[in-house]
Amino acid sequence: MEKIELFSARVCPFAHRSRLALMEKNLPFTLIEIDLRNKPDWYPQVNPAGAVPALRQGDFRLRESLIINEYINECCAESALLPANAQQRAEARLWIDYAGSSFVPLFYRLLKAQQAEEQGAVAAELCRVLAVLDDELKRRTGEGPYWFGWQVGLSDIALYPWFERWAVLEHYRGLRIPDHLNALRDWIETMQGRDAVKLGSEPTDYYIDQYADYAAGRK
Ligand SMILES: N[C@@H](CCC(=O)N[C@@H](CS)C(=O)NCC(=O)O)C(=O)O
């Protein structure tokens, strides 16, 4: 297989998704850190949209974390990150879509909201989404600690990076993950125990510092 290069930024949760997928698949790759505040002149040749993550493999270029992750998963059959069953695979993709359309946008809306009233409303909406995630994990109790059973998969990976950055919401907006969402809290703890997560994790203070501009409405 041709060498895979992943263009990433430590701070970026989208890039974090693709780093996790590559590590969980045990695929060798070269990680290229892009400074988002001072992007290299050549970067548009890798990704014309200018964003991370981007993947390069010979002449092949790919962008968008979720598409990259599907590709990574299909690069080899070992350590499959989607269920073998077609119906479960479709459900896994629904949760991946839910992560992208509901959970992730609310994370940023809350962080960017400057008025107390808006912050309260978005926090309440985000808590409803967390409860949906928790309900789903509770419904699957006994079927394994991950979104789809006993093996980590693309649904877990699509969601987890924002939980690694949750301290940012706690710090700037005072929003803790509610104690009663114990299935969700257990899932986060399980993810934190994975080697791929431990190897790529950053200290809480780093995230708090990096997201200061968002929280102050400067971004
Ligand atoms: N939908 C994209 C989002 C990627 C994205 O927004 N990445 C941010 C960093 S977290 C970025 O590179 N933004 C461009 C910039 O900062 O100039 C994906 O899933 O890959």
Give nearest CA residue, ligand 1 atom 8: 51
21: left (phi over 0), alpha (psi -120 to 50) or beta: alpha
Q: In tens digits, what is the pLDDT along the chain, a chain of 219 residues?
A: 899 999 999 999 999 999 999 999 999 999 999 999 999 999 999 999 999 999 999 999 999 999 999 999 999 999 999 999 999 999 999 999 999 999 999 999 999 999 999 999 999 999 999 999 999 999 998 999 999 999 999 999 999 999 999 999 999 999 999 999 999 999 999 999 999 999 999 999 999 999 999 999 998
Annotated domain spans of the chain: 4-75, 86-215
Query: What's residue 118's pLDDT?
Result: 97
What CATH number belongs to 4-75?
Answer: 3.40.30.10
Which one, of 197, 172, 166, 177, lies nearest residue 129 by Cα?
Answer: 177
Query: What's residue 55's pLDDT?
Result: 98
What is the DSSP track for 151-186? S--HHHHHHHHHHHTHHHHHHHH--PPPTT-HHHHH
Which one, of 79, 64, 67, 82, lies nearest residue 27 by Cα?
Answer: 79
Cβ atoms of 16 and 164 closer than 8 Å: yes
Give the nearest ligand 1 atom to 36 CA.
16
Sign of CA dihedral 20, 207, 219, 215: positive
- Could you tell me if the CB of 14 is within 6 A of ligand 1? yes
Q: Of 1.10.8.640, 1.20.1050.10, 3.60.10.10, 1.10.3720.10, which CATH number belongs to 86-215?
A: 1.20.1050.10
State the distance from the centre of ligand 1 to the C-alpha of 180, rounded, in angstroms: 32
- Go through the chain and tell me how many residues it has: 219
Structure tokens, 155: 């649904």
- Could you tell me if the CB of 34 is within 6 A of ligand 1? no
- Could you tell me if the CB of 50 is within 6 A of ligand 1? yes
Which one, of 17, 184, 23, 157, lies nearest residue 82 by Cα?
Answer: 157
Query: What's residue 52's pLDDT?
Result: 98
- Amino acid of residue 1: M
